[in-house]
Structure 1
Amino acid sequence: MFIGRHHERGRVAGLLADARAGRSGTLVIRGEAGIGKTTLIDRVAADAVDMRVIRGVGVEAETELPFSGLHLMLHPHGDRLDALPAQQAAALRSAFGLAPGPVPDRFLIGAATLTLLSDLATDRPVLCLVDDAHWLDPASLDALLFAARRLSADPIAVIFAVRDTTRPFPDQGLEVVRLDALKRGEAADLVAAHAPGLTVPVRERLLDEAGGNPLALIELANALGSRPALHTGPLPVGGRVQETFRLQLAELPDATRLLLLVVAADGTADLGVVLRAAGTLGFDAADLGPAEEARLVVLDGEEVRFRHPLIRAVTYQNAAHHQRIAVHGALAGALDGDAHADRRAWHRAAAATGPDEDIAAELERAARRAGRRGGTAAVAAAYERAARLSTEPEGKARRIVHAARAAYDAGRPDDATRLAEEATHLTNESAVIAEAMFVQAQVAYERTSPAADAALALKGARLIAADDPEKAVSMLTEAVWSARDAGAHDLVRDSVELLREVRLPDGSTQAPVTGALIAYGRFPGAVPPMRALVEAAQDDRVEDFVERIIAGFMGLLTADDRSATTLLESTAARARAQGALGWLPYIMEPLAIGRLLLGDLRGADAAAAEGLSLASDIGMDMQVMALTCITVRSESDAERSRSLAPDVLRHADLHPTNAALATWGLALHDLADGRADTALDHLESVCSGPARHDLLLRAVPDHAEAAVRAGRRDLARTHLPAFETWAAATSFTAHISRCRALLSENDTAEEHYRTALTLHGDRSYDAARTRLLYGEWLRRRRRRTEARAELTTAQDTFTRLGAPRWAARAHAELEALGDRPTARPDDADPLNRLTPQELQVVRLAATGLSNREIAAQLYLSPRTVGHHLYKAYPKIGVTRRMELARLISIT
């Protein structure tokens, strides 16, 4: 019987209707224990006769077993794995323990889950129902949430049922429907259906005590109906529905209660496992009979399940400690073979009554197996429990620091910090203390500041510089780069000095990045080693993702923008090919900047949008901020940029480099719109700030232009000496000529403008900026024909590149000449009409990739890719896929 819940059922019905119409959606149903979540999703499943229903459930006993929940849901569809892209299929097989393989990126398994669900929805809509989702193991939950957040144009509905507990459920960005207590009239109807013979006083007391909780109403009504003596005494409830189950359990024979404890402690639901364990304790299948008659458990073939999760909880919580120990020991003995090695290890740990090195070693092996499957949260849990069972302090410290590293990798910074701090107090071993500091440093980047990260990483590196130089270099790389983000020049200097002293072994692959970091910031001598790192990475002599990303940044710092961008694009392709999804937001940051600097404004938007989407979905808050700064710097939508800026600039003290990039973007919007004074204020803060010697040196020519336009020629030369030194070292001299033209007070300006245009080469955006200034100069000298030619070319270029405000400024200059130019059909670039996501899909489709191949690269479903193309075709005026290559090559 289902009473009430009209609004909630209506919302679920809408979700299913959307899925049937090809629109994905996700719903989180929240509520207290017994409020009716399971009943609601059971009803939903029963009503979805035209859909493929995939059910899952979180099991408390399985929370430390990586991907156990996901495997439970998807193993019936294992025959579909061969249809997945190879990397994704291998990741799922590895996660499920079906085949050996390299450690998969933990987010790649989410992408594989997304693709598999999309594949299952090809013949009919899919409904995924996950009950008790708060008890899912973290690896499974991450995968399902990643898939749910990236579903779009697929006929798939996902519903998570979540109990209010102290265990958090990350529902940010998902729609939440809360199940509240039944209204009194609805509660009375429910009681009447289950216990029609109750007297009015008892019924009213029941309604008061149960507080509209359906499970409490049903269980208490049934209990009262079978215990007439209780009608005149206190009701068997102390405000919690669990009390009813405790009373029912108390009436069972001792053997039955202990056998139920075996069921509660076991996570397999396998009747054979339960009975084998029970046999060692002196019980058999007949002892389950009373529990089945009392409707506490359900036997279904070879499985035994509790009728409600609360019965499992009460059974386990009510048992004496010595009984739990005995049961876990029996289950450890019943789970033999490699397939149950992890469960066996955890049961042995639960049965331990004190330190036991044998069990600790077994749990450590379980941690390593979990690591090979990509279950970082399970790795952390196994190492921590192994540490608690360790008999030697050094072994305990080593396992604790492994747990700290895994907790950090799993996105649990609080646990990582706690464990790292504990490890430092357990040992004097430098390697362990240094690794603990490294974990604390990386947490500090997110929690405190990049400067705090740099200081801790530098401190840790000092401990091991002589004994473990390669690890020290990794930590010093973190220190230099974090100090760079913070504009902490003293920390950069100290880290570089220590790098000079580190002696790497012959043939170390870290040598190129070390040489570049040592040279960082000292022009002109820095350019050769920094560009050498770019060359080494392009030649695949640098394979580590961190080092390739640094190489990309080094290329941008030395104005080798095209090489840097090409390297970063190949690095992104490598990350996709390897399924290293977690690296993509870090790669997209310099890639978007590189495309901006090359004038590929739409490409920059697409890279930033892809990085932002992934970073948001996988909880990389700092990368969200960094990529948002690039979005502010983007020139396609000034109003959106201005709306994003306040959130970014609030963190300017902690992250000055990112904030300066956003401020530079605001200045460019103001400069394009003719607000030179405001632009100058922004650019002065950028060019005088702590990030002024980094990429932000590139803002100096804009500062000079704003100063001249604002009538502050005295300020225009302020920052040019530093820029000229850098530009001369990097051969990036076109902008020097542009600045000299701006500051010339005679006809030598023309020579400088023409020199700049020659030096710009194929940098069409930079050339258009110079043509705009040159055209304005020509107009002021009444050289109308020449001015018109330069301004028209500038306007067309800005329009083609997707810089509408600069195009509008060129248009205004043409109007000042008396022109009223009319738009020609070929002036408007059709790619400007696409969203960044559509542009990314169209670009890949133009290379000949199929929808399925594009989906694997962008971590979307194939159907969503098809949806983007369906929307893009009419916008860009094509009807066939083969036309895309020609369109992309033209534009």
Structure 2
Amino acid sequence: MVRGEAGIGKSALLDDLASAADGMRVLRAVGIESEAELPFSGLHLLLHPFADRLEVLPSQQAEVMRSAFGLAEVPVRDPFLIGAATLTLLSDLAAQRPLVCLLDDAQWLDRASSDALFFAARRLHDDPIAMVFAVRDTVQPFPTPGIDAMRLDGLDRASATDLLAECAPELTVPVRDRLLDEAGGNPLALIELAHALRDGLVEQAGPLRVTGRIMDAFRAQLGELPAATRLLLLLAAADGAAELGVILRAGETLGASPVHLGSAEEARLVVTSGEEIRFRHPLIRAVAYQSAPHHQRIAAHRALAEAMSAAEDADRRTWHRAAAATGPDEEVAGELERTAERARHRGGTMAVASAYERAARLSADQEGKAQRIVRAARSAYDAGRPDWATRLATEAAALTGEPGVVAEAAYVRAQVEYERTSPAADAALALEGAMLITRSDPERAVSMLTEAVWAARDACAHDLLRRSVTQLETVPLPAGSPLTPVTAALIGYGKLSDGDPGTAVAPMRALVKAVQAGTVQDFVERVIAGFMGLLIADDEAATEVLETLAADVRAAGSLGWLPYVLEPLAIGRLLRGDFRGAQADVAEATSLASDIGMDMQVTVLKAISVWLAAVTGDADECRALAGEVLEHAALHPTNAALASWGVGLLDLADGRCEQALDRLDAVCAGPARHDLLIRAVPDHVEAAVRSGRADLARRHLPTLAAWAEHNVLGSALELRCQAMLSDGEQAEEHYRAALALIPGRPYEFARTRLAYGEWLRRQRRRSEARAILVQAEDAFARLGAARWAERARAELTVLGDRPVARAQADDPLQRLTPQELQVVRLAAAGYSNREIAARLYLSPRTVGHHLYRAYPKIGVTRRMELTQLEL
């Protein structure tokens, strides 16, 4: 990303790159201000010449790209999929020869195009592709996270002097020095102001910024042109993508003829070729438009609308009619609504918001205006513009008392507040909105209350959670509604959070079964069902639900949903002891969430990574990530509690039992104690016992015991706790009973074996202890639980065994990175590189490089050998 003020040399730098790209394919595009409301216009400009190559893309990616280019009527459910399609197409083009993409004036690219291109740029790892964007400094910030950036500064004094001497050698020394001071090293300012001074078009000095002074120079040049020429330039400036024929037809209706373009070309203000008219510099276009009187601009837009008759120009024609409107106009507002829905169909959410807002401004009645503004607010939120969404939602609610509009406005504001303020603020607003439509629109009310319950959960805001659940109990859903099991499960979760698992478990388990049976199919409800399964320790069913959902999300191309699905799936895997799988899920989810701007989701995933780092033995990573998560503890206590559990687990594994006890006691006594954190109680018990504080060890056992009555895993964990607190035969009975209940949970099985082996050693039953501890060490090593494997080896050392890492050295999968493991697993399942790339939103070349690096690590030389590995 090359940043700088207008005229600083960004375009010249791109020109130089293009000329230097010998043997490479060069793609170029320029953002056009008047095109910013037309979705995918920039992407179309860059890649449309290769529309015949879309057939090489995976079918879904090809379909959405055709829709983006207006070649097909396929609804785009997730605009991020177009970013994946862009990545695949660029990678395919680069397979023939290295590719250079140069995009000038990127600040004026339509949002849909810039999102797709930035997504692709952030995921180009092993492809021979360079992408360079040039961005002009403007009042509105233009963030580009994940893209390297450089700023172009002005020329140094000596270079500026040389340039000035070359382009205007006749300037006197005082005038030259004054110009050097004013231009600040800006090359365009030096060139244009020097010419303007020479021709007497501008004064020698002025108080304006450099850009303002350059625009003055261009304004003076335009002022020298005939009125008809200025009119043609106004038309060209009002629609930067219109063909020359359209400009000339519009000009004829306003009294200008093609011959009037001649003087503009002679003045080097525009260049025409074939059916194209192009301004020499974007600032000339800006001056041509801004300098025209208001009535001329209106006439220009009207003339352009009349000159556009092709069906593919329908949206552009509508925007010109909207620009020409001087008051309420329901006909044009209706056309803008249709433009908005076409943009929605193609996945251009930013364009949807813009069209609905403009339609609202042209609405003839206040109720219609409120309806359109709230739709614009929803689309602005979907487009990732929270400030705009909030402003529009607030305005919509102020315009009307219609419950549906006010409720939807509250819902939009709620979702913005989750990221901006806190989940608690989200829950309060969502509840407020739902209360307005509980009777009139019960299913929408359930959606809002689902948001309220889950946001209240994240905030540990139990009062808001109870109020939301109480409201859910009053929603009159129609008979047979697929939301009935969802509502019952959420009410059940409310009971669980109040410490009443007996009432909670049945409806929560029923939702999991309803999803497995296919009677609940919405993505949101299926994610919740996955969480519900984890909360009641039905980990296997929960993981099955979430794995199926992840596969469906990938198949549907709903890339934006994937980080939300992979979050609970990673938790399910880590709870079942599949740490490598959990790491792969977290790595993929974090990468995607970062690339598409889901900052809060990144924090959630970091909390999971804290726990994984603690178990796998990366102490530095564990503590560093925990510090980042705990910075947000006040607003997101659930994430903070999970991270604190991870740090406590690290302390416990390393033998810092008193530190572990303090941290785990806070976790188990905290507001999330009836959630996933119920599973931290056995760690608290162990830390207390090892610290000699048996009195504290029993502090949280009643909570665990109440939960354990309703699931086998809970019973096994409770038995392990009781064993640690017992003596003699009773302790051994508890250990053996726990081991009998816990098969299928390799991590918890190994933890119980370790505790039992330690107890046997203390009872001087050395041979039995050795056998159990060897099994524990072997299991930990196979799982990659390095810290706990070290604990087991330490116990074996006390028994006189030599420390040997038995299993870890024999497991080649431990040597793979999380993404390499994902790729290897998919390759072993028979997927091609292109299919793997489509599933993981990578380029096929990157997939190939992952396999190339993985093969020697796992000792294979051919793809077919992967099927023989236990993956």
TM-score by length of 1: 0.95
SS at structure 2 position matched to 1:501: coil
Q: 1:527, 1:730 within 8 Å by CA — same for their partners in 2?
A: no
Task: State how far apart, in whole Å, the 1-side matches of 2:223 and 2:438 are.
Answer: 63
SS at structure 1 position matched to 2:103: strand
User: What residue number does 2:854 align with?
Assistant: 872
1:121-145 CA-partner distances (Å, limit 9, x unpaired):
0011110100000111111111111
Moved more, 710-719 or 631-640: 631-640
SS at structure 2 position matched to 1:467: coil
Residues 1:741 and 1:237: Cα distance change in structure 2 (over 3 Å): closer
Structure 1 position 89 matched with structure 2 position 67: no
Which aligned pairs between 1:396-415 and structure 2 lie closer than 5 A?
Answer: 396-415=369-388
Task: State how far apart, in whole Å, the 2-side matches of 1:338 and 1:719 are.
Answer: 70
User: What residue number does 1:840 align with?
Assistant: 822
User: What residue number does 1:723 align with?
Assistant: 704
User: What residue number does 2:777 align with?
Assistant: 795
Partner of residue 754 from structure 1, selected from 717, 723, 736:
736
Moved more, 345-354 or 535-544: 535-544
Report deviation, 1:236. Answer: 8.3
Q: 2:201, 2:221 within 8 Å by CA — same for their partners in 1?
A: no
User: What residue number does 1:771 align with?
Assistant: 753
Residues 1:864 and 1:214: Cα distance change in structure 2 (over 3 Å): same
Task: State how far apart, in whole Å, the 1-side matches of 2:257 and 2:583 are.
Answer: 66
User: What residue number does 1:683 align with?
Assistant: 664
Which aligned pairs between 1:472-871 and structure 2 lie closer than 5 A?
Answer: 472-520=445-493, 521=496, 522-634=500-612, 635-636=615-616, 637-732=618-713, 733-823=715-805, 827-871=809-853
Which aligned pairs between 1:95-244 and structure 2 lie closer than 5 A?
Answer: 95-225=68-198, 227=199, 234=204, 238=208, 239=210, 240-244=213-217
Task: State how far apart, in whole Å, the 2-side matches of 1:163 and 1:285 are.
Answer: 32
User: What residue number does 2:48 align with?
Assistant: 75
Task: State how far apart, in whole Å, the 2-side matches of 1:87 and 1:587 are.
Answer: 20
Task: State how far apart, in whole Å, the 2-side matches of 1:320 and 1:510 are.
Answer: 57
User: What residue number does 1:443 align with?
Assistant: 416
Structure 1 position 366 matched with structure 2 position 339: yes
Report deviation, 1:203. Answer: 2.4
Residues 1:825 and 1:781: Cα distance change in structure 2 (over 3 Å): closer
Residues 1:491 and 1:824: Cα distance change in structure 2 (over 3 Å): closer
SS at structure 2 position matched to 1:697: helix
Report deviation, 1:104. Answer: 3.0
User: What residue number does 2:267 align with?
Assistant: 294
Residues 1:826 and 1:224: Cα distance change in structure 2 (over 3 Å): closer
1:777-810 CA-partner distances (Å, limit 9, x unpaired):
1111111111111111111111110110100010
Report deviation, 1:235. Answer: 5.5
Task: State how far apart, in whole Å, the 1-side matches of 2:674 and 2:807 are.
Answer: 44
Task: State how far apart, in whole Å, the 2-side matches of 1:826 and 1:674 are.
Answer: 22
Report deviation, 1:530. Answer: 1.1
For structure 2, list consecutive stretches of 5 or more residues without a partner in the other structure: none
User: What residue number does 1:7 align with?
Assistant: none
Report deviation, 1:210. Answer: 1.8
Q: 1:237, 1:243 within 8 Å by CA — same for their partners in 2?
A: no
Report deviation, 1:824. Answer: 5.0
For structure 1, list consecutive stretches of 5 or more residues without a partner in the other structure: 1-27
SS at structure 2 position matched to 1:129: strand
Partner of residue 247 from structure 1, selected from 198, 220, 241:
220
Residues 1:234 and 1:823: Cα distance change in structure 2 (over 3 Å): closer
Q: 2:793, 2:804 within 8 Å by CA — same for their partners in 1?
A: no
Residues 1:824 and 1:464: Cα distance change in structure 2 (over 3 Å): closer
Structure 1 position 351 matched with structure 2 position 332: no
Residues 1:881 and 1:130: Cα distance change in structure 2 (over 3 Å): same
Task: State how far apart, in whole Å, the 2-side matches of 1:82 and 1:230 are.
Answer: 55
Report deviation, 1:762. Answer: 1.5
TM-score by length of 2: 0.97
User: What residue number does 1:319 align with?
Assistant: 292
Task: State how far apart, in whole Å, the 1-side matches of 2:791 and 2:669 are.
Answer: 28
Q: 1:134, 1:168 within 8 Å by CA — same for their partners in 2?
A: no
Residues 1:875 and 1:246: Cα distance change in structure 2 (over 3 Å): same
Percent identity, aligned pairs only, is 68
Task: State how far apart, in whole Å, the 1-side matches of 2:602 and 2:870 are.
Answer: 29
Moved more, 49-58 or 200-209: 200-209
Moved more, 338-347 or 288-297: 338-347
Report deviation, 1:230. Answer: 7.4
SS at structure 2 position matched to 1:336: coil
Report deviation, 1:199. Answer: 3.0
SS at structure 2 position matched to 1:30: strand
Partner of residue 431 from structure 1, selected from 377, 383, 404:
404
Report deviation, 1:639. Answer: 1.7
Amino acid in the other structure paired with 1:783: R
1:728-755 CA-partner distances (Å, limit 9, x unpaired):
1123211111111101022211111111
Report deviation, 1:193. Answer: 2.0
Task: State how far apart, in whole Å, the 2-side matches of 1:77 and 1:638 are.
Answer: 49
User: What residue number does 1:285 align with?
Assistant: 258
Moved more, 740-749 or 572-581: 740-749
SS at structure 2 position matched to 1:736: helix
Task: State how far apart, in whole Å, the 2-side matches of 1:674 and 1:163 are.
Answer: 56
Report deviation, 1:491. Answer: 1.5
Report deviation, 1:285. Answer: 1.0
Task: State how far apart, in whole Å, the 2-side matches of 1:236 and 1:741 are.
Answer: 86
User: What residue number does 1:309 align with?
Assistant: 282
Task: State how far apart, in whole Å, the 2-side matches of 1:375 and 1:171 are.
Answer: 19
Report deviation, 1:825. Answer: 7.5
Residues 1:230 and 1:824: Cα distance change in structure 2 (over 3 Å): closer
User: What residue number does 2:26 align with?
Assistant: 53
The aligned length equals: 859
Residues 1:424 and 1:826: Cα distance change in structure 2 (over 3 Å): closer
Q: 2:781, 2:808 within 8 Å by CA — same for their partners in 1?
A: no
Amino acid in the other structure paired with 1:585: P
SS at structure 2 position matched to 1:299: strand
1:294-321 CA-partner distances (Å, limit 9, x unpaired):
1100011110010110100011111100
Q: 1:534, 1:554 within 8 Å by CA — same for their partners in 2?
A: yes
Report deviation, 1:208. Answer: 2.2
Task: State how far apart, in whole Å, the 1-side matches of 2:388 and 2:201 are.
Answer: 48
Aligned-residue CA RMSD (Å): 1.4
Residues 1:647 and 1:303: Cα distance change in structure 2 (over 3 Å): same
Which aligned pairs between 1:873-888 and structure 2 lie closer than 5 A?
Answer: 873-888=855-870
Report deviation, 1:685. Answer: 1.0
Q: 2:343, 2:352 within 8 Å by CA — same for their partners in 1?
A: yes
1:498-543 CA-partner distances (Å, limit 9, x unpaired):
1111111123221121111111113112222211111111222211
Q: 2:782, 2:808 within 8 Å by CA — same for their partners in 1?
A: no
Moved more, 201-210 or 344-353: 201-210
Q: 1:599, 1:765 within 8 Å by CA — same for their partners in 2?
A: yes
Report deviation, 1:80. Answer: 1.0
Q: 2:146, 2:595 within 8 Å by CA — same for their partners in 1?
A: no
Task: State how far apart, in whole Å, the 1-side matches of 2:819 and 2:407 are.
Answer: 42
Task: State how far apart, in whole Å, the 2-side matches of 1:506 and 1:72 are.
Answer: 51
Structure 1 position 338 matched with structure 2 position 314: no
Amino acid in the other structure paired with 1:832: Q
SS at structure 1 position matched to 2:869: helix
Q: 1:846, 1:888 within 8 Å by CA — same for their partners in 2?
A: no
Task: State how far apart, in whole Å, the 2-side matches of 1:654 and 1:561 are.
Answer: 28
SS at structure 2 position matched to 1:162: strand
